[in-house]
Copies of this chain bind each other. A is one copy, B any other.
Amino acid sequence: MEHEVIARCRSVAECTEEPGFTTRTFLSPPMHEVHQRLRAWMEQAGMSVRIDSAGNLRAAYSAAQPGAPPLFLGSHLDTVPHAGAFDGILGVVLAVALVEKLAGRRLKFSIEVVGFSEEEGVRFGVPFIGSRAFIGEEVADARVSDAIRAFGLDPTSIADARAAGNALGYLEFHIEQGPILESLDLPLGIAESIAGQSRLAVTFQGRQNHAGTTPMSLRRDALAAAAQWICAVEREAGATAGLVATVGRLEVEPGATNVIPGAARATLDVRHADDAVRCLAVERFLRSARQLAQWRGLSVSSEPLLDQPAVAMDAAFVAALEQAVTGSHYPLHRMTSGAGHDAMVVARRMPAALLFLRSPGGISHHPDENVLPEDVAAALTVGMHFLEQMEARLG
């Protein structure tokens, strides 16, 4: 069945706004075809399918008794530009395969597979439209409402996207999108939390000058200062367990071969599972920027762009997932998710858990993104164990 899961993901990757690539933003035209293909597999597994007014695809597999609480399984259907075939969609296809493996057997809870309409934030720069509507948050501003209407849905009915109040919780399968599991030679990892994140703009202001006539000792080179700071950030981040810090953008002014840079504008992205560690690290990075700027006779300024606390996954759900992993005889590995996922949003409303599948080469958001059949098989086995645990718990 793992090969079928992979084949289905690759089939959905054909639905794209841009021929030759996989690019599928919030409720863009190819999303109709995504819904159609998934609907066929869902109905074949005995589920009843609807599309809610936030554009989420919802497939219900009823319980043995009416009125039983639902367990939600899912992930997102949208992609980044020039995406791979597994980010998001794998979690939906895998959930459908789990229901298929039940082969008609009914449980003490219903299962609802959710394909969220939007997670990546590409179309409007605002992520998690699908999962935020699912937990009842306000998402339908004018542009989102227009997009919903253009897709043939009614934004005024968006309350129909809300999850039932008596839900057991939410389980998401997702590729890791990083190299950790591969480096540890592990198929699966349990995210026990999603890292908090700080983003800042940091600008060094020096003195633009002639590269030929200004001796090294009389320079106030903004790029040299930024470079020294980037080295300090890398060194300090590497010395703190679990901390990642990235300077992803650096713009140099005026940016001419023969002119000493007068200004260097950097961005800094800092993440850690523990908010206190993260905030202390940001303070340390800014202090080292100020110190080296002062030492060099430059000025430095910073502006916070984002300060997002860490989100813990539900302890009981994580424990159940651990039992499912060990019960399936796979090695146990708890980790922090460095990226945001729908589970992070859904966790505000109900118990949530997140199971990572190894990403070969750590590659994601790229056409070479991949997943191994044996890891999909592992996830299916663990998923079935998880359903059995829930069944036993409701005993």
Q: Tell me the A residues contacting B by CB distance below 8 Å.
A: 176-180, 183, 195, 197, 199, 209-218, 221, 223-224, 226-228, 230-231, 234, 237-238, 243-250, 252, 255-261, 267, 269, 271, 305, 337-340, 362, 364-365
Contact = CB atoms under 8 A, between A and B. Distances in A.
A261 B243 contact: no
A248 B244 contact: no
Nearest to A226: B227
Nearest to A212: B338
B249 A252 contact: yes
Contact of A215 (B180, B248, B365): B180
A195 B179 contact: no
A370 to B, nearest CB: 15
A267 B271 contact: no
Q: Is the interface of A mostly helix, strand, loop or mixed?
A: mixed
Contacts of A305: 257
22 contacts: A178-B212, A179-B218, A180-B218, A183-B218, A199-B258, A210-B338, A210-B365, A211-B244, A211-B271, A211-B338, A212-B271, A212-B339, A213-B337, A213-B338, A216-B237, A221-B234, A223-B248, A226-B227, A227-B227, A248-B255, A248-B256, A248-B258
A248 B227 contact: no
A216 B260 CA distance: 30
A278 B305 CA distance: 43
A213 B248 CA distance: 14
A329 B356 CA distance: 80
Task: State the 10 A-B residue pairs at the shortest beta-carbon distance, nearest first.
Answer: A178-B213, A212-B338, A227-B230, A211-B246, A227-B227, A213-B338, A216-B238, A212-B339, A257-B267, A179-B218
Given A218-B179, A238-B217, A305-B257, A212 B244 contact: yes
A162 to B, nearest CB: 29
A196 to B, nearest CB: 11
A214 B362 contact: yes
B257 A214 contact: no
Given A223-B250, A249-B255, A214 B179 contact: yes
A121 to B, nearest CB: 11
A84 to B, nearest CB: 12
A374 to B, nearest CB: 21
